[in-house]
């Protein structure tokens, strides 16, 4: 019987939120496979250059086995080195199903690992199920205008999961067994190395936010963006932008949501003065809830919105911000 | 410098998508195809590198005969050579990676540029997969690139910031929006590109690693509560955010 291998990433005192999502998705597949002809034996996580206390938090999500690999000769993150380490871990543990988060790291790393097995890989999955004994992934295509069901035919199967879609659910594991591994990696696997990470100062990134408030051309100029920022801070969320706003130079590209920007799935997406072009929808249509504010009642954004306010953002945003603040008591 | 640029042929971003009769693919009737938008940044970066260091830029596409149109766009932008690995069958990313790797082994490029992802299936895998098949370092989602002698420094977009990544030539780079401003081909160049040769290659066959077994147009039901800007309506929306969406 083979195993499921989960790639986990450390963050502060625990793991990245997306890692808990990966554990939950793994647990669901493990349970479902019990009724199939080839059930998985168990699942195992791999955490590279993390700590025992970080690893321990995985127990709360039902994981009972972790390989804690410590690489002594890596000065920074290296995709080539990590891919080699993960491949070895998969082989040693007879893992045939490998799950990654579809975040920046996972999207680059997962296909490297897949290639080492000449395995099939599917990125950015929004659903994973076992149907007729086969793992079937769901994945949006053509900018979310369609969705495919897809299966992998090779023995080893690699998937990455769109962040924020697989909600993490806590579950106590009977016991967490941490397998410590110290190794040195051959220089030939360290051809790429991250020298430095530059954080966007003090700002919450759209990819990490639960609530995003985005502005479009309707905001008319960068001097009015404080209206967007104020609502975002009332919600405790991040600030996003449409391409029209980024192309005009009003906001940085790191805030752009859409086909040539970021793909986000927050719990709430607020579109202010955004028309709802397909390329914008491509980046945010998998949000759990969408609130649109637009003065044009026929704006396409209202077709995908759960909630809408037809009105002038220059009047609505200050009012809405005040009322949200009052409601949340901030 | 010997530069290879991979381009994929994708439906225009505004295309209305309909599921074909087979139930597993897009109905391509009447669909306009374009060069994958991210690949325009890849082409541009290749051209700039050649303008600085000399050398040749080869564009490659794995696809049907009609993909020549996208290769001609690359030729009009200024690439020196175009290669089409021609196939009329359904193919997956593994097939593309294997076939590009085959050509790359012959060509032995110093650098291979790709787009961050193809906007049809957003497979997001060619750059890394190809890198592993060719045993090359790769950096994906690059928004700034500096090459000095053999040393490569790239800025790569990640959640909440950027990674500064180093590697050396030969290597593989995938382009993110912001890397450069792609040039528009001029009319005379578009005309000239029409008569330039395109090198056609027969693909090597591979096993199918992934199979699409269904395609549907998602019909996520949205609540659709669209109200006015009156105080009471705004309060109604906030109440819904609290009670239905449970966000605040
Ligand atoms: C290859 C390609 C990739 C693209 N990628 C992206 C992408 O990643 N992200 C993206 O966003 N776009 C992308 N686009 C661009 C997209 O097609 C649209 O042009 C863009 O999204 C429009 O931005 P907007 O909604 O802010 O502006 P507009 O379409 O101009 O809409 C402005 C809206 O504001 C409303 N408005 C104006 N004034 C007010 C007011 N006072 N109060 C309330 N409402 C008001 C108007 O009614 C209108 O609906 C891409 C396009 C292409 C071709
Ligand atoms: N059929 C293809 N032919 C040539 N290059 C391709 C092809 N498909 C994808 N690519 C390249 O790989 C990049 C990433 O694509 P993908 O992994 O399919 O999302 C694209 O931006 C192209 O540069």
CATH code (residue B107): 3.40.50.620
Instruction: Compute, in angstroms, the gap from residue B164 CA to the centroid of ligand 1.
Output: 31
Of B13, B137, B166, the CB nearest to A279: B13
Domains and CATH numbers, chain A: 3-189 (3.40.50.620), 211-328 (3.40.50.1220)
The reply to whether B212 falls in a domain is no
State how far Cα B74 lies from the chain centre: 13
Q: Are strands B138-148 and B151-158 parallel, antiparallel or unpaired?
A: antiparallel
Of the candidate ranges A310-314, B76-80, B158-162, the one whose mean pLDDT is the lowest = B158-162
Contact B229 A310 (CB under 8 A): yes
Atom of ligand 2 minimally distant from the CA of B118? 19
Extract the tokens encoding A221: 């100029």
CA-based max dimension of chain B: 70
Residues B146 and B225 grouped into a single domain: no
Q: Is B125 close to ligand 2, i.e. is its CB under 6 Å away?
A: yes
d(CA A157, CA A99): 9
> Is B40 in the same domain as B80?
yes
Q: Could A150 and B209 be called an inter-chain contact, meaning their C-beta atoms sit closer than 8 Å?
A: no
Most B CBs within 10 Å, among A76, A145, A243, to test the B interface: A145
Task: Note the pLDDT of residue B175.
Answer: 98
Q: Is residue B207 part of a domain?
A: no
Contacts B161 to A, Cβ<8 Å: 197-200, 205
Whose alpha carbon is nearest atom 14 of ligand 2? B117
Tell me, yes or no, whether B83 lies in a domain. yes
Chain A interface includes B187 (CB < 8 A): no
Mean pLDDT (chain A, rounded): 96
Mean pLDDT of A89-107: 98
CA distances in angstroms from A45 to A5, A8, A11, A111, listed in the order given: 6, 6, 15, 18
Q: Residues enclosing ligand 1, CB less than 6 A?
A: A 216-218, 242-245, 256-261, 273-275, 277, 279-280, 283, 294-296, 299, 312-314; B 13, 37
In ligand 2, the atom with minimum distance to the C-alpha of B175 is 21
Residue B211 within any structural domain of the chain? no
User: Do strands B161-168 and B171-175 pair parallel, antiparallel, or not at all (unpaired)?
Assistant: unpaired
Instruction: Choose the mutation target among A17, A84, A114, A115 for the interface with B, i.e. most B CBs under 10 Å.
Output: A115
∠ CA B59-B65-B66 to the nearest 5 degrees?
85
Distance from CA of A69 to the nearest CA of B (A): 22
Confirm whether B79 is domain-assigned.
Answer: yes
Output the CA–CA distances (angstroms, integers) from residue B10 to A46, B7, B15, B26, B35, in the order listed. Answer: 36, 10, 10, 11, 6
Query: Tens digits of per-residue pLDDT, B76-106?
Result: 999 999 999 999 999 999 999 999 999 999 9
Chain-chain contact of A309 with B228 (C-beta, under 8 angstroms): yes
Q: Is B62 in the pocket of ligand 2 (CB under 6 A)?
A: yes
Residue A137's closest CA among A155, A124, A151, A123?
A151
Angle of CA points B130, A258, B94, to nearest 5°:
20
Does residue B33 have its Cβ closer than 6 Å to ligand 2?
no
Report the pLDDT value the prediction gives residue A270, as an integer from 0 to 100.
98
Q: Are residues B196 and B226 in the same domain?
A: no
pLDDT at A1: 86
**B210 in a domain, yes or no?**
no
Q: Is cis: bond before B170, omega within 30 of 0? A: yes
Q: Can you give the residue range of the structural domain that contains B184?
A: 2-201
- Show the tokens assigned to A87: 């491949």
| Residue A3: φ, ψ to 5° | -115, 170
Banded model confidence at residue B107, pLDDT cuts 50, 70, 90: very high
pLDDT the model gives residue B142: 98
In this prediction, does ipTM exceed 0.85?
Answer: yes
The mean per-residue pLDDT over the stretch A242-269 comes to 96
Residues B146 and B41 in one domain: yes
Query: Residue A169: its pLDDT value, please?
Result: 95
Token pair 């597949």 is found at: A29
Taking 70 as the threshold, does the pLDDT of residue B112 lie above it?
yes
Residue B206 lies in a domain: no
Instruction: Give the DSSP letter of residue A62.
Output: T
In the sheet where A127-131 sits, what is the strand order? A127-131, A134-141, A146-152, B210-216
Ligand 2 centroid to residue B119 C-alpha, Å: 9
Residue A312 pLDDT greater than 80, yes or no: yes
Q: Give the count of domains, chain B.
A: 2
Q: Would you say residue B209 lies in a domain?
A: no
pLDDT of A330 > 70? The answer is: no
DSSP at B27:
-
pLDDT band at residue B220 under the 50/70/90 scheme? confident
Judgement on whether residues B132 and B234 belong to the same structural domain of the protein: no
The two three-digit tokens of residue B142, written as one number: 């690059």
For residues B182-196, b (16+ Cβ closer than 10 Å) or e, as one string? beebeeeeeeebeee
CB distance from B169 to chain A under 8 Å? no
For residue A199, the tally of other CB atoms under 10 A from its CB is 12
Element (H, E) at B111: strand B111-115
Name the residue among B121, B208, B247 with its Cβ closest to that of A153: B208
- Give the closest residue (by CA) to ligand 2 atom 1: B62
Q: Look up tokens 């914008």; give the residue.
A: A280
pLDDT digits (tens, 9 = 90+) for B176-186: 999 999 999 99
d(CA A10, CA A47): 7
For residue B13, the model assigns a pLDDT of 87
B165 and B88 share one domain:
yes
User: Are residues B245 and A288, on separate chains, in Cβ contact within 8 Å?
Assistant: yes
Whether B183 and B225 share a structural domain: no
Do B101 and B171 fall into the same domain? yes
> What does the pLDDT look like over A121-166, one tens digit per residue?
999 999 999 999 999 999 999 999 999 999 999 999 999 999 999 9
What pLDDT band is residue A201 in, cutting at 50, 70 and 90?
confident
CA distance B47 to B213: 40
CB contact at 8 A, A171 and A62: yes
Are B64 and B184 in the same domain?
Answer: yes
Q: Is B151 on the interface with A (CB under 8 A)?
A: no
Percent of chain B past pLDDT 70, that is, above it, reads 100
Q: How far apart are CA B18 and CA A39, in angstroms?
A: 37
Position in ligand 2 atom list of the atom nearest CA B125: 17
Closest residue in B to A77 (Cα–Cα): B165
Asked if residue B233 and residue B147 are part of one domain, the reply reads: no
Distance of alpha carbon B31 from alpha carbon B25, whole angstroms: 13
pLDDT reported for residue B170? 98
**How far apart are alpha carbons B5 and B17 in whole angstroms?**
28
CA of B195 to the centre of ligand 2 (A): 25
Residues B49 and B7 in one domain: yes
| Cα of A100 from ligand 1 centre, angstroms | 33
Task: Report pLDDT for B163.
Answer: 97
Closest CA to A48 of A65, A27, A26, A66: A66
Same domain, B104 and B223: no
Indicate the SS3 state at residue B196.
coil
Q: Residue A305 CA to chain centroid, in angstroms? A: 22
pTM: 0.93
Tokens of A189: 């696997």
Residue A203: how many CB atoms within 10 A of its CB?
17
pLDDT for the residue A203: 84
Interatomic CA distance for residues A244 and B210, integer angstroms: 37
Cβ neighbours, 10 Å, residue A1 = 10
Give the helix/strand (H/E) hosting A66: strand A65-71
Written as six digits, the tokens of A20 are 């808990």
């Amino acid at each position: 019987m083979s195993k499921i291998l989960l790639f986990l990433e450390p963050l502060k005192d625990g793991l990245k939120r997306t890692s808990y999502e990966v554990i939950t998705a793994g647990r669901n597949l493990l349970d479902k496979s019990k009724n199939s002809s080839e059930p998985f034996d168990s699942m195992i996580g791999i955490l590279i250059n993390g700590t025992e206390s970080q690893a321990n938090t995985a127990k709360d999500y039902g994981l009972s086995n972790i390989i804690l690999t410590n690489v002594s000769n890596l000065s920074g993150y290296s995709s080539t080195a990590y891919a080699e380490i993960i491949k070895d871990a998969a082989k040693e543990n007879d893992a045939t199903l490998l799950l990654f988060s579809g975040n920046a790291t996972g999207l680059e790393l997962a296909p490297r690992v897949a290639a080492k097995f000449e395995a099939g890989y599917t990125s950015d999955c929004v659903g994973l199920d076992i149907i007729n004994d086969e793992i079937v992934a769901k994945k949006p295509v053509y900018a979310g205008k369609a969705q495919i069901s897809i299966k992998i035919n090779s023995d080893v199967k690699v998937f990455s999961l769109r962040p924020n879609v697989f909600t993490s659910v806590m579950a106590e594991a009977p016991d967490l067994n941490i397998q410590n591994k110290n190794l040195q990696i051959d220089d030939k696997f360290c051809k790429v190395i991250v020298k430095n990470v530059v954080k966007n100062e003090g700002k919450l990134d759209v990819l990490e936010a639960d609530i995003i408030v985005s502005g479009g051309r309707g905001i008319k100029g960068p001097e009015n963006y404080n209206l967007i920022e104020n609502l975002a801070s009332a919600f405790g969320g991040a600030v996003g932008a449409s391409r029209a706003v980024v192309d005009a130079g009003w906001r940085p590209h790191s805030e752009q949501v859409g086909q040539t920007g970021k793909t986000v799935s927050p719990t709430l997406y607020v579109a202010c003065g955004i028309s709802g072009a397909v390329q914008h929808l491509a980046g945010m249509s998998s949000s759990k809830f969408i609130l649109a504010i637009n003065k044009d009642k026929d704006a396409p954004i209202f077709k995908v919105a759960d909630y809408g306010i037809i009105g002038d953002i220059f009047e609505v945003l200050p009012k809405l911000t005040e009322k949200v603040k009052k409601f949340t008591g901030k | 410098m010997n530069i290879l640029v991979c381009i994929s042929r994708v439906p225009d971003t505004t295309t209305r998508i309909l599921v074909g009769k087979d139930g597993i693919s897009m109905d391509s009737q009447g669909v306009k195809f374009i060069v994958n938008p991210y690949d325009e940044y890849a082409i541009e970066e290749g051209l700039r590198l050649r303008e600085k260091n000399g050398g040749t830029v080869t564009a490659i596409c794995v696809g049907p005969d009609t993909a020549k149109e996208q290769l001609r766009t690359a030729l009009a932008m200024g690439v020196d050579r175009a290669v089409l690995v021609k196939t009329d069958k359904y193919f997956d990313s593994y097939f593309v990676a294997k076939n590009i790797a085959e050509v790359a082994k012959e060509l032995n490029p110093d650098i291979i540029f790709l787009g961050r992802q193809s906007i049809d299936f957003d497979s997001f895998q060619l750059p890394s997969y190809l890198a592993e098949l060719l045993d090359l370092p790769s950096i994906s989602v690059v928004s700034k690139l500096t090459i000095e002698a053999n040393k490569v420094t790239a800025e790569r977009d990640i959640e909440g910031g950027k990674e500064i990544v180093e590697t050396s030539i030969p290597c593989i780079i995938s382009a993110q929006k912001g890397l450069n401003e792609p040039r528009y081909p001029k009319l005379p160049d578009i005309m000239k590109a029409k008569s330039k040769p395109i090198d056609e290659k027969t693909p090597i066959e591979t096993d199918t690693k992934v199979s699409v077994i269904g395609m549907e147009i998602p019909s996520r039901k949205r609540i659709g509560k669209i109200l006015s800007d009156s105080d009471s309506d705004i309060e109604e929306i906030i109440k819904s955010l609290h009670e239905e969406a449970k966000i605040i």
